[in-house]
């Protein structure tokens, strides 16, 4: 049990999954004053094809709160979610970009709107079930570290948080491996102990991205062209259905030798989708140098050329690079080894070892 001076009043974001359930359990065991909150962000009111289990998630979150012995609330953030996340998602794809709604949901909703709601209601911190660790530094600032379980680490999704948001963030499960977390949930008899991990768009549910886009973004057909010679191989219904590096679902068969095509570019002028055979010398598929913009830092910004590491997408390992700031929130990034399929609009995360320094967006 914490001494009274160390106890905090914390709002725990309960998603209805096992990770946030154990986060709440641990904080309760540590003696903090807790309230559980389910963020009601999306209810599939437009009947988009797919499974949107928000009602079940609310029931599961409420049952866990009751089992742990904490108050439970449903916080309606549907308008803010549509304005800040859904519109960002749709605008990005409509412009030929590859947005990341999960990263933006953390910055704009969980540690944005929900954090503001929490502060307005007397809470000093917001806790989530992210596999990441927050560390208080001697100067009073906070650092964000990768989760101990490298197979589950979610620090990448927190790359656009700022220092103020990080100070109010709590990540109670960052020191746990997933099997250990499941064990704790079972021992406590939590209703979500064996619940399957959710997949799909952040807080929208198990909806295929193509179905979601089909419901909201007008189709704009165009040719599928071979990048090296401009030969037309077929037609597509819209560039927003594709992303750089995509191999499946292009609609162009492999050649007689079994070589598969991969998306290597999009040309907005004539809505052309550019493809090439999937090998290292495919034009535009691999890049050693990129520019990033909209730089965001979890702590002090890096203002001088530096040797750092970066995660080019969620599931990729950290890779060494040279980071060269250019001012105005932009920078050049030179990788030690060429990186595959860096799509405009995707999120890039910067690290110094296990410490997350910040993030940016590929130009």
- Cβ atoms of 304 and 327 within 8 Å: the answer is no
> What tokens were used for 211?
């179905």
Cα separation, 115 vs 65, in Å, equals: 19
Burial (0-12, 13-18, 19+ Cβ within 10 Å), 175: middle
Q: Which long-range contacts (CB under 8 A, 24 or more apart) does 332-339 make?
A: 332/289, 332/290, 332/291, 333/289, 333/290, 333/291, 333/292, 334/288, 334/289, 335/287, 335/288, 335/289, 335/290, 335/310, 337/288, 338/280, 338/286, 338/287, 338/288, 339/286, 339/287, 339/288, 339/290, 339/312
Q: 289: burial class by Cβ within 10 Å (0-12, 13-18, 19+)?
A: middle
Nearest to 326 by CA among 357, 289, 283, 353: 289
Integer Cα distance of 266 and 96 in angstroms: 7
Output phi, psi for 260, to 5 deg.
-95, 150
Cβ 39 vs Cβ 110: under 8 Å: yes
Helix %, strand %, coil % of the chain (to 5): 30, 30, 40
Sequence-distant (6+) residues with CB within 8 A of 328 are none
The residue from 22, 90, 202, 204 that is catalytic is: 202
By residue count, the chain amounts to: 363
How far, in Å, CA of 323 to CA of 331, rounded?
7
Q: Which of 105, 176, 262, 273 is catalytic?
A: 105
Residue 18 to residue 24: CA distance in whole angstroms: 10
Active site residue 52: no
Residues catalogued as catalytic: 105, 202
């Amino acid at each position: 049990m914490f001494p009274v001076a160390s106890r905090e009043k914390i709002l725990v974001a309960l998603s209805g999954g096992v990770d946030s359930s154990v986060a709440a359990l641990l904080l309760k065991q540590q003696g903090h004053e807790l309230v559980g909150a389910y963020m009601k962000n999306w209810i599939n009111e437009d009947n988009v094809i797919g499974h949107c289990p928000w009602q079940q998630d609310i029931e599961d979150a409420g049952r866990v709160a009751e089992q742990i012995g904490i108050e439970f609330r449903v916080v309606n953030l549907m308008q803010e979610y549509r304005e800040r996340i859904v519109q960002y998602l749709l605008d990005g794809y409509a412009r030929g970009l590859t947005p990341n709604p999960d990263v933006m949901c953390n910055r704009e909703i969980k540690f944005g709107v929900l954090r503001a709601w929490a502060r307005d209601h007397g809470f000093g911190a917001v806790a989530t079930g992210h596999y990441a660790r927050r560390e208080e530094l001697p100067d009073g600032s906070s650092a964000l570290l990768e989760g101990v379980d490298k197979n589950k680490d979610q620090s990448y999704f927190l790359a656009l948080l700022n220092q103020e948001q990080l100070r109010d963030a709590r990540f109670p499960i960052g020191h746990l491996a997933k099997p250990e977390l499941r064990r704790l949930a079972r021992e406590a008899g939590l209703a979500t102990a064996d619940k399957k991990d959710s997949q799909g768009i952040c807080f929208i549910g198990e909806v295929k991205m193509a179905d979601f886009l089909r419901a909201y973004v007008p189709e704009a057909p165009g040719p599928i062209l071979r990048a090296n010679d401009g030969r037309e191989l077929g037609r597509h219904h819209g560039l927003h259905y594709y992303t750089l590096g995509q191999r499946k679902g292009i609609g162009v068969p492999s050649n007689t030798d079994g070589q598969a095509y991969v998306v290597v570019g999009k040309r907005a002028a004539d809505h052309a989708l550019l493809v090439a055979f999937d090998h290292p010398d495919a034009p535009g598929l691999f890049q050693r140098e990129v520019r990033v913009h909209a730089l965001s830092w979890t702590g002090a910004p890096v203002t001088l050329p530096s040797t750092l590491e970066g995660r080019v997408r969620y599931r990729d390992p950290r890779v060494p690079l040279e980071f060269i700031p250019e001012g105005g929130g932009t920078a050049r990034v030179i990788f030690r080894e060429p990186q595959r399929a860096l799509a405009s609009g995707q999120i890039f995360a910067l690290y110094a070892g296990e410490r997350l320094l910040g993030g940016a967006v590929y130009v």
